[in-house]
């Protein structure tokens, strides 16, 4: 192994409170129905309904989010004149580093991988703000590069975005591992180009016994196929050791 690629959201960090809870809170601020499950359902519906490009704006860019926010909040009763203020309120929340919680093992795992001489990269479906967010979270210097979908205008699971990461790392697919929280985007996307895939399931079914690194590498589940399941990123260390053996 010569390189490790990471997804960003729900792999290195996550919103706290969760994204749909943030949207629900903003809905209530503007006098709209703010039941979390209803707002979450509208968010899922809007995301599924919108194409990758909206009037030329790639997914997760400001123009795309403008259409997305309208799709979420109009069914909640928001008039058109209220949407710009809702958009700015949400934008301010997601610009604030305090919205994001870094998972506790990220520092030690990335440091250990660095000490082993591996190239570390991020491959994420995220807005163009990702590089700035990584800087705000003091994560930017832990990685050699970031491949962000809204900047590259290509997104996981498209093989092209993984190919760009491989080119920047200067490695062959079989010399790299990609870890993320989505079977479709991270596992299947990586596997399609020959990168070793790993799925992180922080709240998944595999339990932990003991404090050793091996405890964080879960046994395969029926139907998993050839990919590792990790309870957290500490599971990368025995996974890499096993492949290098």
CATH number of the domain within which 85 lies: 1.10.150.720
Tally the domains of the chain. 2
Q: In the structure encoding, which two tokens stand for residue 245, read together? A: 């053996």
Q: What is the pLDDT of residue 206?
A: 56
Neighbours of 138 (CB within 10 A): 11
Average pLDDT, the chain: 92
Using DSSP's 3-state secondary structure scheme, residue 147 falls into strand
pLDDT of residue 203: 81
Interatomic CA distance for residues 120 and 143, integer angstroms: 5
Range of the domain at 226: 3-14+100-244
In this prediction, residue 143 carries a pLDDT of 98
Q: Are 162 and 216 within one domain?
A: yes
Are residues 117 and 3 in contact, defined by beta-carbon separation less than 8 angstroms? no
155 and 90 in one domain? Answer: no
Low-confidence stretches of the chain (pLDDT beneath 50): 207-215, 221-224
Alpha carbons 63 and 44: distance in angstroms, whole number: 18
Q: How many CB atoms lie within 10 A of CB 61?
A: 19
Residue 207 sits in the same domain as residue 121:
yes
**Distance of alpha carbon 163 from alpha carbon 169, whole angstroms:** 10
Distance from C-alpha of 19 to C-alpha of 112, rounded to nearest angstrom: 31
Token code pair at residue 73 = 């909040």
CATH, residue 114: 3.40.50.1000
162 and 81 in a common domain: no
Place of tokens 């069914």: 75
- Tell me the DSSP string of 172-227: -GGGEEEEES-IIIIIIHHHHTTPEEEEE-TTSS----SSSGGGGEEPPPTT--S-
Tally Cβ neighbours within 10 Å of residue 60.
21
Residues 122 and 157 in one domain: yes
* 220 and 109 within one domain: yes
Residues 32 and 145 in one domain: no
- Shared domain check, 144 and 222: yes
Is there a single domain that holds both residue 141 and residue 226?
yes
pLDDT at 217: 54
What sections of 50-187 are H helices per DSSP? 62-73, 83-95, 106-115, 130-136, 149-152, 159-169
Whether this prediction's pTM lies above 0.85 is answered by: yes
pLDDT digits (tens, 9 = 90+) for 88-100: 999 999 999 999 9
Q: 190-241, pLDDT tens digit by residue?
A: 999 999 999 999 886 554 433 333 445 555 544 445 688 999 999 999 999 8
Mention every residue, 6+ apart, whose C-beta is less than 8 A from residue 123: 5, 6, 7, 147, 156, 161, 162, 165, 178, 180
pLDDT value of position 223: 47
Encoding tokens for residue 108? 């030690």
* pLDDT for 129: 97
């Amino acid at each position: 192994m010569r390189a490790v690629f990471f997804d960003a959201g729900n792999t290195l960090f996550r919103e706290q409170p969760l994204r749909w809870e943030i949207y629900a809170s903003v809905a209530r601020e503007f006098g709209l129905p703010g039941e979390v499950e209803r707002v979450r359902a509208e968010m899922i519906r809007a995301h599924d309904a919108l194409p990758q490009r909206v009037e030329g704006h790639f997914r997760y860019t400001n123009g795309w989010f403008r259409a997305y926010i309208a799709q979420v909040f109009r069914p909640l009763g928001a008039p058109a004149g209220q949407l710009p203020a809702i958009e700015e309120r949400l934008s301010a929340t997601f610009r604030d580093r305090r919205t994001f919680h870094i998972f506790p093992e990220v520092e030690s795992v990335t440091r250990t991988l660095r000490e082993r001489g591996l190239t570390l990269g991020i491959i994420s479906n995220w807005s163009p703000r990702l590089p700035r967010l990584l800087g705000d979270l003091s994560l930017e210097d832990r990685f050699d590069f970031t491949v962000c979908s809204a900047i590259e205008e290509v997104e996981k699971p498209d093989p092209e975005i993984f190919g760009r990461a491989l080119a920047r790392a200067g490695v062959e697919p079989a010399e790299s591992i990609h870890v993320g929280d989505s079977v479709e985007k991270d596992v299947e996307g990586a596997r399609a180009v020959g990168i070793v895939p790993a799925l992180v399931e922080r709240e998944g079914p595999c339990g932990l016994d003991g404090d050793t690194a091996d405890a964080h590498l879960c046994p395969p589940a029926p139907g998993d196929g050839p990919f590792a399941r990790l309870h957290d990123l500490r599971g990368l260390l025995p996974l890499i050791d096993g492949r290098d053996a």
